[in-house]
Amino acid sequence: MESEAMDRRAALGRLAAGAAVLAAGSMITEGEAMAAKGQSDFYDKDGKFLAERALEAYYAMMHRYGYTISEGLKKSIWAVDFGLGRFEDVGMAGIFWWNDLQYRYFGHDIFLLPGQMIPEHKHVKTDIAPPKMEAWHTRSGWVRLFSDAPATPGAEGFIPASELKFTTCRACQEHHVGEVTGLNRPEAWHFMVAGPDGAIVTEYATYHDGKALRFTDPGIKF
């Protein structure tokens, strides 16, 4: 696990270098190329999350994986730290390609930097939709999927230390390119953590109602 942490730091360094290469190609600015160096680079002096700077780190990862950065993606992509101020540990970028309430289907791409975690959550029934069901298709890199099934020995060692007290899931599986896995049941707690090179994951799901999200960490603002 120590070597994995070292791999993660090396990967973040590569993303910083990749952002610099993109900057040299006039795709991003010199200042934005500073992204991915450390926690403080994603926040201003008052602690405000710098989403645009964070996106440059994701663009560097996309570039490395050969993922097309279209103008349509740039207009719709978002990055969040879930209001926690721990972006290197907890955060993501995403784009909702489709979210149809009438016919209840949804398409989403998830982007995670090395070792980054989507916080533990579930989707409950709302007045307009049943509990969201979803499946994840790893496209680049790899992730660990966590669920509320029987515990996997050593699973806690793969969760960022800052998030241990806010998680209950201890069933863990590595999920590599080309693999597809679905949520085990409606309203099940779940989360994912990227491997040391980050990850791009496509999600196929029923309609996503933001009001249905429930997190185990009470400090999340999303």
From the options 1.10.3720.10, 3.30.1330.60, 2.60.120.10, 2.40.40.20, give the CATH code of 2-215: 2.60.120.10
State pLDDT tens for residues 35-53. Answer: 345 667 899 999 999 999 9
C-alpha neighbours within 13 Å on the C-beta side of residue 72: 4
The two beta strands, 190-205 and 105-112, are antiparallel
At 24 the three-state DSSP class reads helix
Record the tokens describing residue 213, joined without a space: 């999200």
Residue 24 has pLDDT above 60, yes or no: no
Write down the pLDDT at residue 157: 96
Please name which of 175, 212, 207, 169 lies closest in space to residue 194, comparing C-alpha atoms: 175
Pick from 86, 172, 190, 95: which is nearest to 135 by CA?
A: 190
Domain ranges of the chain: 2-215
Residue with tokens 């209001």: 83
Residue 162 pLDDT exceeds 90: yes
Positive/negative CA dihedral, 5, 175, 171, 133: positive
Enter the pTM of the model.
0.85
pLDDT of residue 19: 53
